[in-house]
Amino acid sequence: MKYIVCEKPGEFILKEKEAPTRKEHEALLQINKVGICGTDLHAYSGDQAYFTYPRILGHELASEILEIGENERGLKAGDNVVIMPYLSCNTCIACRNGKTNCCTNIKVLGIHTDGGMQEQITVPSNILLPANNLSNDQMAIVEPLAIGAHAIRRAAVQKDEFIVVVGCGPIGIGIMKLAQIAGAKIIALDMNEDRLKYAKDKIGVDYTVNVSKNPVKEIEEITNGDMATAVFDASGNKFALETGPDYMAHGGRFILVGLSKGELTYNHPKIHAKEITIMCSRNATTEDFEHVISVLNQFPTESFITHSVPFTEMINDFDSWLKPETGVIKATVNFN
């Protein structure tokens, strides 16, 4: 079978190997579609945290079961399934407390261990969720939306509260839509006017603000001086991560969803005066995946996936997805 491996930063190679064999408590899957995310782009560029080479990328996966044994969800050969790509130990302190998303020994497909950029893959049966009601496009975006769902749940977003989402990339867009479904009022921040327009026209956010145009003043005006009670960073940009508290109301929450490799610095008196709660949000849990699947019919999947190419052409197109002028929101790779 064919697979694509990222041998080192900036280098993909198309190779062939024997198809995998399923072990007990595993399923053999056919991969139908792979979503490309910021993690993949950063891995290719050489600036992704928690990463080693060579690595088969791909953790946003649409798949079909080829073989499976008895399992608690009653899944069978021929079923479409969403893969929760987080392999947790189920014994550490985080897992024992239901936080499998930040397991001390976590391995994420396509990051710590090989992922789905291959025609077939074997995975533990317990990380599969039934998805016969979803299209391949929908299955391939469940995982990034689940990251947004987890962040919203961490922040306990409330109806009618003002929230700021910094970054109109795929994760940020997911947070916006899911927070909108939860009843929040959304202020989208970005420096890319095309992304802001998409957030306004396709997601239906309440307000858009260009970060190059005095965003603190604009947010102050929008919120009648209160500022936002929750701010989500979905950019991973150091400057954005350090300025997020400027958009916050006193007593507010700052949720770090985007990941930066470096150190962050905050003025302690400034964040102390607001009694800010700073929380990180990593990956997602089964509850988050199931929530996304239940509301996915409210998400504009068709416009969200802007680029799609056959598996054998991915290497030629990948470089272009790194360029803002390409207009990529979500790219996918098709296996059939």
- Report the C-alpha gap between 134 and 159 in whole angstroms: 28
The fold for domain 148-280 equals Rossmann fold (3.40.50)
- Model confidence pLDDT, tens digit, residues 269-324: 999 999 999 999 999 999 999 999 999 999 999 999 999 999 989 999 998 998 87
Domain with CATH 3.40.50.720 in the chain: 148-280
Domain with CATH 3.90.180.10 in the chain: 2-132+300-334
Q: Count how many residues are written for the chain.
A: 336
Q: Does residue 218 sit in helix, strand or coil? A: helix
Please list, in sequence order, all residues whose beta carbon lies within 8 angstroms of the beta carbon of residue 306, skipping any fewer than 6 positions away: 327, 328, 329, 330, 331
Whether residue 126 contacts residue 71, with contact meaning beta carbons closer than 8 Å, is answered with yes
Which pLDDT belongs to residue 129?
98
In the predicted model, is pLDDT for residue 138 greater than 90?
yes
Whether residue 184 contacts residue 159, with contact meaning beta carbons closer than 8 Å, is answered with yes
- Model confidence pLDDT, tens digit, residues 237-271: 999 999 999 999 999 999 999 988 789 999 999 99
Query: What proportion of the chain, given as a percentage, has pLDDT over 90?
Result: 90
Q: Does residue 9 sit in helix, strand or coil? A: coil
pTM of the model: 0.95
| Pick from 17-26, 49-58, 202-211: least confident | 49-58
Which pLDDT belongs to residue 78?
97
Two structure tokens written together for 88 = 């947790």
Please state which CATH number belongs to domain 2-132+300-334: 3.90.180.10
